[in-house]
Structure 1
Amino acid sequence: MSLNAGSVWRRWDPHVHFPGTVLNDQYTGHDAWEANLALLESRTPTIEAIGVTDYYNLDTYERLVESKVQGRLPKCGLIFPNIEMRLAYGTVKGNWVNVHLLVSPERSDHVAEARRFLARLTFDAYEDTFACTPEELIRLGHAAGATFGNRAALALGSEQFKVSFDQFREIYRKTAWARENTKIVVAGGDDGAGGLRDGSDAITRQEVLRFAHAVFASSPAQREFWLGERSASVDQLWDLYGGPKPCLHGSDGHDPSRSGAPDRDRFSWVKGDPTFDALRQACIDPAGRAFVGPTPPVSALPSQVIANVAIEGAAWAATPRLALNPGLVAIIGARGSGKTALADIIAAGCDALPETPNTQSFLQRASEFLVDTSVTIGWGEGDPERRRLIDDDGWFDRSPRARYLSQQFVDELCSSTGMTDALLKEIERVVFDSHGVSDRDGAVNFDDLLDLHATRHRQARAREETALTTVSERIGVELEKIKLVETYKAQIADKTRLIVQCEGDRAKLVSKGSEVRITRLQALTEAAEKVRGNVRHFNLQAQELLSLQDEVKDVRTNRVPEDLRETAEKHAAAGIRGDDWEPFRMDYTGPVDEVLSERLKKAQSSSASLKGRAPAPKSDLESPYLAEDAELHHQPLSVLEAEICRLERLVSVDKATSLKFAALSKKITDETALLERLKEKLADAEGARARADTLQTDRESIYRRVFEAIVAEEGVLNDLYLPIKSRLGDAGGTLGKLAFSVTRTADVAAWAKRGEEELLDLRRQGPFKGKGTLQQIAAQDLKDTWETGDPDAVSAAMKAFRQSYASDLIEHARVSKADQAEYRAWLKRFAQWLYSTDHVAIRYSVDYDNVDIRKLSPGTRGIVLLLLYLALDDADDRPLIIDQPEENLDPKSIFDELVGLFLRAKNKRQVIMVTHNANLVINTDADQIIVASVGTHAAGELPPITYTSGGLEDPKIRRAVCEILEGGERAFKERARRLRVRLQR
Structure 2
Amino acid sequence: MIEEMQISSKTEEQRGSIWRKWDLHIHAPGTKLADNYGIRSDELWERYIQTLESSSVQAFGITDYFSFDGYLETIARYRQLVPEGRKFFIPNIEFRLLETVSTDGRNVNSHVLIDPEAATPDALAKFLSDLETHISVGGGRRLRCGELKQAQFAAATVSVRDIEEALRNCFSPEDYFIVTAAGNDGLRGAAKKSQRSLSISDELDRASAAFFGKAGNSSYFLLDSRYEDGAKSDPKPVFDGSDAHSFPDLSRLTGDEPSFQSTWIKANLTFRGLRQTLFEPEHRVFIGDKPPVLTRLEREGTRFIDRLTISPISTYGGQNGSWFQSVDIPFNPELTAIIGNKGSGKSAIADILALLGDTRQAKFFSFLTDNPSNKKFKRPGYAEHFRARLTWKSGSVTERLLSNDPDKLKPEAVKYLPQNYFESLTNEIEVQELRREIEDVVFSHVDLSDRIDASSFHELEERKTLNSRQEASQLKSRLRELNVRIVELEAQSEPEFRARLVAELDNLKSQVQTLETSKPTEEQQPPTESDEQKAANDKIAVQTTILDDLVARGKDASVRLAANKTNFQETQELLEAVTAVKARVDAAKISLKERFSSLGFDLDNVIIVTTDTEAISARSKQLASAIRELEHDAQLVVNEKTDISKLHSIPDMRAAHKYVSDGIKALREPLSAPQQRYQKYSQAIREIADKIAVITGDRNAPVAGTIADLEMRIARVDNDLASELDNAYLARHSLCLEIFECKRKIKTFYEELKSKVETRLAAVSTGDFSVSIDASFVLSSNFGTEFFSLVNQAMSGPFRGVEEGANQLRQRLSAVDWNSMQSVLPFIDQIIASMKSTDIKKQAKDVKKLYDFLYSLEYFEARYELRLGGKNLNQLSPGEKGLLLLVFYLHLDMDSTPLIIDQPEDNLDNDSIFAVLARCIREAKKTRQVILVTHNPNLAVGADAEQIVYVRLDKVNGYHFSYQSGAIEHPSTNGHIVKILEGSRPAFVQRRLKYQIV
Same fold, TM-score > 0.5, yes or no: yes
Correspondences of 1:270-419 after superposition (within 5 Å)? 270-298=265-293, 300=296, 301-313=300-312, 316-352=323-359, 354-356=361-363, 358=365, 360-361=367-368, 365-367=376-378, 368-391=381-404, 395-415=407-427, 419=430
1:248 paired residue among 225, 239, 243: 239
Q: Secondary structure at the match of 1:435?
A: coil
2:893 paired residue among 867, 873, 877: 873
Sort the Cα spacing of 1:869 and 1:224 in 2 relative to 1 into closer, same or farther, 3 A: same
1:853 paired residue among 850, 860, 873: 873
Sort the Cα spacing of 1:362 and 1:752 in 2 relative to 1 into closer, same or farther, 3 A: closer
Report the equivalent of 2:531.
Answer: none
Sort the Cα spacing of 1:787 and 1:183 in 2 relative to 1 into closer, same or farther, 3 A: same
Q: CA deviation at 1:252?
A: 0.8
- Are 1:673 and 2:685 an aligned pair? no
Q: CA deviation at 1:933?
A: 2.8
Q: Which letter maps to 2:355?
A: A
Report the equivalent of 1:787.
Answer: 818
Preserved contact between residue 25 and residue 63 of structure 2 (Cα < 8 Å): yes
Report the equivalent of 2:317.
Answer: none
Report the equivalent of 1:148.
Answer: none
Report the equivalent of 1:53.
Answer: 63
Sort the Cα spacing of 1:745 and 1:261 in 2 relative to 1 into closer, same or farther, 3 A: closer
Q: Secondary structure at the match of 1:709?
A: helix
Q: Secondary structure at the match of 1:908?
A: coil
Report the equivalent of 2:29.
Answer: 19
Preserved contact between residue 568 and residue 623 of structure 2 (Cα < 8 Å): yes
Q: CA deviation at 1:261?
A: 1.8
Q: Which letter maps to 2:525?
A: K
Deviations 1:889-940 (CA, angstroms, capped at 9, x unpaired): 33333222321122111121111122222222222221111222344645xx
Deviations 1:459-487 (CA, angstroms, capped at 9, x unpaired): 33332232222112213324444665665
Deviations 1:841-878 (CA, angstroms, capped at 9, x unpaired): 5454222233333333333322222112211112x111
Sort the Cα spacing of 1:349 and 1:213 in 2 relative to 1 into closer, same or farther, 3 A: same
Sort the Cα spacing of 1:293 and 1:455 in 2 relative to 1 into closer, same or farther, 3 A: same
Q: Secondary structure at the match of 1:331?
A: strand
Sort the Cα spacing of 1:682 and 1:781 in 2 relative to 1 into closer, same or farther, 3 A: farther
**Separation (CA, whole Å) in 2 of partners of 1:579 and 1:294:** 54
Preserved contact between residue 367 and residue 377 of structure 2 (Cα < 8 Å): no
Report the equivalent of 1:737.
Answer: 770
Sort the Cα spacing of 1:166 and 1:580 in 2 relative to 1 into closer, same or farther, 3 A: closer
Preserved contact between residue 949 and residue 957 of structure 1 (Cα < 8 Å): yes
Q: Secondary structure at the match of 1:40?
A: helix
Q: Which letter maps to 1:675?
A: T
1:470 paired residue among 481, 490, 494: 481
TM-score by length of 2: 0.81
Report the equivalent of 1:143.
Answer: none
Preserved contact between residue 207 and residue 241 of structure 1 (Cα < 8 Å): no
Correspondences of 1:30-45 after superposition (within 5 Å)? 30-31=40-41, 33-38=44-49, 40-41=51-52, 43-44=54-55
- Are 1:102 and 2:121 an aligned pair? no
TM-score by length of 1: 0.82
Correspondences of 1:825-864 after superposition (within 5 Å)? 828=848, 832=852, 835=855, 837-864=857-884
**Separation (CA, whole Å) in 1 of partners of 2:176 and 2:604:** 81
**Separation (CA, whole Å) in 2 of partners of 1:606 and 1:132:** 138
Preserved contact between residue 37 and residue 72 of structure 1 (Cα < 8 Å): no
Sort the Cα spacing of 1:966 and 1:664 in 2 relative to 1 into closer, same or farther, 3 A: farther
Q: Which letter maps to 2:403?
A: I
Structure 1 unaligned residues grouped into runs of 5+: 138-153, 628-634, 816-822
Q: CA deviation at 1:569?
A: 4.7
Sort the Cα spacing of 1:860 and 1:658 in 2 relative to 1 into closer, same or farther, 3 A: same
Q: Secondary structure at the match of 1:215?
A: strand
Sort the Cα spacing of 1:419 and 1:775 in 2 relative to 1 into closer, same or farther, 3 A: closer
- Are 1:814 and 2:842 an aligned pair? yes
Sort the Cα spacing of 1:413 and 1:506 in 2 relative to 1 into closer, same or farther, 3 A: same
Deviations 1:754-810 (CA, angstroms, capped at 9, x unpaired): 58974799549xx9999999999988999756634346x7667867987x7686354
Report the equivalent of 1:719.
Answer: 752
Q: CA deviation at 1:749?
A: 11
Q: Which moved more, 1:907-916 or 1:840-849?
A: 840-849
Q: Which letter maps to 2:191?
A: R
Q: CA deviation at 1:57?
A: 0.5
Sort the Cα spacing of 1:718 and 1:236 in 2 relative to 1 into closer, same or farther, 3 A: farther
Q: Which letter maps to 2:117?
A: E
**Separation (CA, whole Å) in 1 of partners of 2:781 and 2:34:** 87
Q: Which letter maps to 1:856?
A: L
Q: CA deviation at 1:422?
A: 2.5
Q: Secondary structure at the match of 2:889?
A: helix
Number of aligned residue pairs:
927
**Separation (CA, whole Å) in 1 of partners of 2:39 and 2:119:** 33
Q: CA deviation at 1:649?
A: 6.8
Report the equivalent of 1:945.
Answer: 961
Q: CA deviation at 1:187?
A: 0.3
Aligned-residue RMSD, C-alpha: 4.6
**Separation (CA, whole Å) in 1 of partners of 2:710 and 2:803:** 41
- Are 1:710 and 2:706 an aligned pair? no
Sort the Cα spacing of 1:889 and 1:92 in 2 relative to 1 into closer, same or farther, 3 A: same
Deviations 1:697-756 (CA, angstroms, capped at 9, x unpaired): 322322222222233333233233333234324543399632222333568996799589
1:508 paired residue among 516, 521, 528: 521
**Separation (CA, whole Å) in 2 of partners of 1:581 and 1:842:** 36
Structure 2 unaligned residues grouped into runs of 5+: 1-6, 314-321, 529-536, 647-651, 698-702
Preserved contact between residue 86 and residue 97 of structure 1 (Cα < 8 Å): yes
Q: Which moved more, 1:686-695 or 1:655-664?
A: 655-664
Q: Which moved more, 1:33-42 or 1:860-869?
A: 33-42
Q: Secondary structure at the match of 1:743?
A: strand
Deviations 1:4-33 (CA, angstroms, capped at 9, x unpaired): 221111111111111111111112135364
Q: CA deviation at 1:384?
A: 2.5
Report the equivalent of 1:179.
Answer: 173
**Separation (CA, whole Å) in 2 of partners of 1:186 and 1:433:** 45
**Separation (CA, whole Å) in 1 of partners of 2:903 and 2:829:** 57
Preserved contact between residue 746 and residue 783 of structure 1 (Cα < 8 Å): no
**Separation (CA, whole Å) in 2 of partners of 1:755 and 1:648:** 70
Sort the Cα spacing of 1:214 and 1:353 in 2 relative to 1 into closer, same or farther, 3 A: same
Preserved contact between residue 13 and residue 260 of structure 1 (Cα < 8 Å): no
**Separation (CA, whole Å) in 2 of partners of 1:551 and 1:331:** 73
Q: Which letter maps to 1:105?
A: P
Q: Secondary structure at the match of 2:906?
A: coil
Sort the Cα spacing of 1:590 and 1:958 in 2 relative to 1 into closer, same or farther, 3 A: same
**Separation (CA, whole Å) in 1 of partners of 2:67 and 2:801:** 97
Q: Which letter maps to 1:189?
A: G
Q: Secondary structure at the match of 2:738?
A: helix
**Separation (CA, whole Å) in 2 of partners of 1:258 and 1:976:** 48
**Separation (CA, whole Å) in 2 of partners of 1:158 and 1:916:** 54
Report the equivalent of 1:955.
Answer: 971
Report the equivalent of 2:733.
Answer: 700
Q: Secondary structure at the match of 1:923?
A: coil
Sort the Cα spacing of 1:892 and 1:799 in 2 relative to 1 into closer, same or farther, 3 A: closer
Sort the Cα spacing of 1:209 and 1:584 in 2 relative to 1 into closer, same or farther, 3 A: same
Q: Which moved more, 1:55-64 or 1:793-802?
A: 793-802
**Separation (CA, whole Å) in 1 of partners of 2:569 and 2:301:** 73
Q: Which letter maps to 1:159?
A: A
Q: Secondary structure at the match of 1:396?
A: coil
